Amino acid sequence: MQTYFILFSLLACFAAIFDFLFYKIPNIFCGLIAILFLFGSSIFYPVEKILHAFLLSGGTLGICFVLYLMRILGAGDAKFLTVSSLWAVDTNFLYFMLVTSACGGLLGLLYIMCSDKIDIIRIKLNLFLTKFFENSLMSAFYKRYGELPFKNSRSQNSGKLFLPYGVAICGGCIMITYMNIWGS
């Protein structure tokens, strides 16, 4: 099961990178995280624990849907948080949400203090990855998102700050992996 948790963390990190670069989380990452949970849980977990995970994830989806309707959370973040909550069945779900919220608070403070510098880093990282993926198998997948208009972290009209909350959710996912592999 350790391999599944490490793969889960890697997929979460890829989703966080895409959220950081484009403020979008591709559905492929959420789908792969869910499929990976189905394979891993069917091998290692009893049926009761799998049902508990789906109930927990369904409740998370309901809360995320309300937050999406109130325009507090994006649709990609809601999907990512929902499939990540599937993996929190072995650990304390509230601890997962606490770590995710703490990472989100730190991310918010970081963006408030230096959003312009973060935008410069995002542009440079985007240019580097465009050159890196130019002749690889990932080029078609990356070009789909690389051709999107670059969005600044602040809205031009309202000055509203956009946060890539997938990065904070990734912090919670890494905590899940740590607790299941090395934690008590």
70-118 pLDDT, tens digit per residue, is 988 999 999 999 999 999 987 789 999 999 999 999 999 998 898 889 8
Least confident residue range of 14-23, 36-45, 146-155: 146-155
Number of domains in the chain: 1
pLDDT score of 180: 87
Query: Does 59 reside within a domain?
Result: yes
Model-level pTM?
0.87
Does pLDDT of 142 surpass 90?
A: no
Residue 131 lies in a domain: no
**pLDDT band (50, 70, 90) for residue 30:** very high
Residue 120 lies in a domain: no
pLDDT for the residue numbered 131: 72
Query: 163 or 146, which is more confident?
Result: 163
Question: Is residue 55 scored above 60 in pLDDT?
Answer: yes
Average pLDDT over residues 116-133: 80
Residue 107 lies in a domain: yes
- Residue 51 lies inside a defined structural domain of this protein: yes
Whole-number mean pLDDT of the chain?
A: 86
Q: Let me know if residue 123 belongs to a domain.
A: no
pLDDT at 67 over 60: yes
Residue 119 lies in a domain: no
**Domain hosting residue 20, numbered range:** 2-114+162-181
Cα separations in angstroms, 105 against 1, 121, 126, 129, 175: 31, 20, 25, 28, 16
| Residue 124 placed within a domain | no
- Higher-scoring residue by pLDDT: 11, 26: 11
Predicted pLDDT at 157:
64
Least confident of 120-129, 155-164, 171-180: 155-164
